[in-house]
Amino acid sequence: MFLVMEALGIVAFAFAGAMDGARSRLDLFGIGTAAILTAIGGGVLRDILLGVEPPVGLQTTWYFLAGLATAAAVVLWYPHLSRLNRSVQFCDAVGLAMFAITGATKAMEHGTSVYVAGIIGLINGVGGGLMRDVLIRRVPTVLRKEIYALPALGGGILVGVGFILHLPSDIVAVVTVPIVVAVRMLAILLNWHLPTTRLTRTGRTPADRRQPAAIRPGPGSSAPGDSEQTLELFLAAPATPSGSDPIPRPRHCQIGKRRARRFPARQPDAHHSHERTTEFEVGRHARGRRGATGPANSAGPACCDR
């Protein structure tokens, strides 16, 4: 009876592991490795905890052959098998039930207590899937909010209780397997899950999303720190999308601000549409006229000479 259950568990877990490996786009060796790890990983952990050396999964040849044959079947018919998502979940639930019961039974045969038998059954059921999830770089199913480990733990405890009550092991296995499979499938279909922590909002913006505060320019346009403030404003301004107008440049220099106001820019007319006189050119023309009639030192600020 237990040999048949172990064979069904090997095939079911190998199928689920090979399907997950194929969905993760592993190569042929990776799919075979995922299938074998899922099939025998939990049994190896069980034997290590019970002190069985060497583990049964490493010295049984047909375990490897069954896992490789299942992986080959998945590779050949994956386009058709990829649509059977519920079938993969059902096979995973069957393997979970089979290995949880066989693990708890072997634990009770080694003289452990009921809760230890439940833990050994849990490890035997979820150990292979845990190795598979680590291999394909996924958060293990047993650590997520899905109800996955609890059915295996409950099945192991039921086996331990039946062993203490001296009930026939075959009857206990036949009764426990449908219970574990039913609980697991109901958790999938009805979206049962364990509660998780909730993150509360504190009303504060994370440090990595805070924008630097804009620095206001001083009241005096010719203050010594104008250039530093302009540079800080340029660095603190948000980035503009590609193709848009960059940060607008000042229409005139800070030092020649008053002179630019006194001589505003002349708008180009229809006859001189190709010309554009700026504030700097107006200041230069005015300085030339003043230099022709007045002293040479009456020129404007040095900023406007450039």
User: Residue 88 burial by CB count (10 A; 0-12/13-18/19+): exposed, middle or buried?
Assistant: buried
Mean pLDDT of 115-135: 92
CA distance 177 to 220: 85
Provide CB contacts within 8 A for 229, sequence distance 6+. Answer: 215, 217, 218
On the question of pLDDT at 133 being above 80, the answer is: yes
Q: Which residue would you say has higher pLDDT here, 24 or 220?
A: 24
In three-state secondary structure terms, 178 is helix
CA distance 298 to 214: 38
Note the pLDDT tens digit of each residue in 161-196. 999 999 998 899 999 999 999 999 999 999 888 887
Q: Tell me, what's the pLDDT at 158? A: 93
Note the pLDDT tens digit of each residue in 206-259. 554 555 555 455 555 445 555 555 555 555 555 555 544 454 545 445 555 555
Mean pLDDT of 117-121: 93
193 backbone dihedrals φ, ψ, rounded to 5°: -155, 160
SS (H, E, C) 209-255: HCCCCCCCCCCCCCCCCHHHHHHHHHHHCCCCCCCCCCCCCCCCCCC
Across the chain, mean pLDDT equals 76
In three-state secondary structure terms, 215 is coil
Query: Hey, where are the domains in the chain?
Result: 2-189, 253-267+276-306
Q: By the 8 A CB rule, do 99 and 176 touch? A: no
Going along 54-187, which residue ranges are E strands?
A: none
Mean pLDDT of 71-91: 88
Continuous H helices in the chain = 2-23, 28-50, 56-59, 61-76, 78-81, 85-109, 114-135, 149-164, 169-189, 226-236, 257-262, 279-293
Structure tokens that stand for 134 in this block:
């680590």
CA distance 259 to 186: 83
304 backbone dihedrals φ, ψ, rounded to 5°: -80, -10
On the question of pLDDT at 92 being above 80, the answer is: yes
CA distance 285 to 268: 16
Q: Tell me, what's the pLDDT at 288? A: 54
